Structure 1
Amino acid sequence: MKRSAKTEKAVTLTPGNGNWMEGWSECELYWRGKPELPEFSRFPKSADATSPAVLVRVNHGCGSYFFSSLTPESFDTGKMAAAKYARLISAVLTSHGAALANSASPYLPDRSLTIPLRNLRWEFSLDPNDEGLAENRQSGFDGSGKWLSGQQTLGGESVRPGVGYEAFLERDYAGVSFYRLRFKLTAEQATAKNMRAELGTINSSDRTFLNGKEIGSSAAGRRVYRIPDGLLKPGENTLVIRVESRKKPGGIVDAAIQLSNTDGVTSFWKRLYPGGDRDYNYNPDWIRQY
């Protein structure tokens, strides 16, 4: 293997290569910027190869070997080149008669899951003396706190994430507070793998607990915490977020609040055009399961 020179061009077929990648054109794989791609070298002159040599086919006996130095993850997350490369791999495998691992369905099952939490019934409690952890509020207990929920102001402001808590308290507050949410999951939702709690921006620091177990803490940036497999359960679950705020607006102040497993580069192998369906509104847009 060698590194090809940084280049701003598409992967193209070498002239005279025949139809070994029939149905694939030069526009199928291109990129913006100048990536440095791993390229095959010292392969037989009789082999078919792209330029640069990131795809190589070597005939052997009655069949052939197909080599690829790239994966969709070789490109930046969310870039079209990654999606196009996933589609290319699927097309090449299909054209060479690769058998499906699941003959009942030619497509990968969609195991993505997003559970919105922002608009559910949240509870909120101040903790000016910082006694909440000692009272085990992180496990869902009330402790000595007065828990607020629902509409709190004549103007209709309710306890909810996505706005500073000053909006529903109708006063300023600097110190420790707790958000609590009890929500129900089906058995299928509770057994989903690779779930994360996406909590947006919190002013200023937080410690986040799910069913009594701490799953993350931070003092800056957007909060995305991995949920250990098996921690979610069918039926009622309890999410508790301890917030310590010294500036306005305080609390969980923006972004979608949700549980999700839809992030990550593995989505390229399932959905070819992340963020849009282009002209592929039918499932051939999905990578087949080999």
Structure 2
Amino acid sequence: MSLTSSRPRVARAASRPSSAGRLQAWLPRLVLAPSVAISLFFVYGFMLWTFILSLTNSRLLPSYEFVGFGQYARLMANERWWVASTNLMIFGGLFVLICLALGAFLAILLDQRIRQEGALRTIYLYPMALSFIVTGVVWKWLLNPGLGIQAMVRSWGFESFTFDWLVNPDMAVYTLVIAAVWQASGFVMALFLAGLRGIDDSIIKAAQLDGASLPRIYLRVVVPCLRPVVFSAVMILAHIAIKSFDLVVALTGGGPGYASDLPATFMYAHAFTRAQIGLGSASAMLMLGGVLAILIPYLYSELRGRKHG
């Protein structure tokens, strides 16, 4: 009788998790909880605070006198903001497209198993190890009409050669493209090269056995397999373009005048340094909207692909 009655107790005791088991189950959550709480407060909490400030009449100090979307209306009526937005379209579009094309071209060359591949890959990747401040300063020297490329070519006897984009209001934004492409194209090359090395060789060999030429293999087989890499590269490059600040400050300073302003430099130079916290917060929220406009379609396509996969 006692033996049979003790069996349910033993089963219940075995079914109850021990304190050590509960601690082991909760330990990862306890370890991650501080970093999650800090991220929620200092990232998403400040994003929410910035949005609240963008709806107020804040100037030198935060003021919670709500004016609705008045700051956004002021921003839309500001000529300098439209110049910065137009420059972002030019700079961002050319930066992304040229980096993708140049990075893919370099990756395809290195994928041919050429000699000294490691040295060449290091050379192409080295600019990414530099900060945008260093890149901006170096290219400011190179593009200075009195010191850089123009002065060097003229010293060779070509006195009529002109390369004054740095001081030309209509061309200054393109100097940002040159410097940014020089720095980021090696990183894109590394992404594409990793994608190329991840493609199954049997697929390419089967296409070769069918008589497909090398350009056709890359166009019909390799490029579709690299679609996730392309999406990732576009997202990263677009994010870099939208938040570009240090490169502009080091290379052009937003000038001549404000001809090469981008939204990030507008937010700092025209808003926050002139005691326009509300206006600066509104411009920051629009920049965040630009990032989300790129990020959300990417996440949607990724999640949809996993769901159907």
TM-score by length of 1: 0.28
- RCO higher in structure (CA 8 A, sep ≥6): 2
- Write 1 or 2 for the structure with the bigger share of helix: 2
Bigger CA radius of gyration? 2
- Write 1 or 2 for the structure with the bigger share of strand: 1
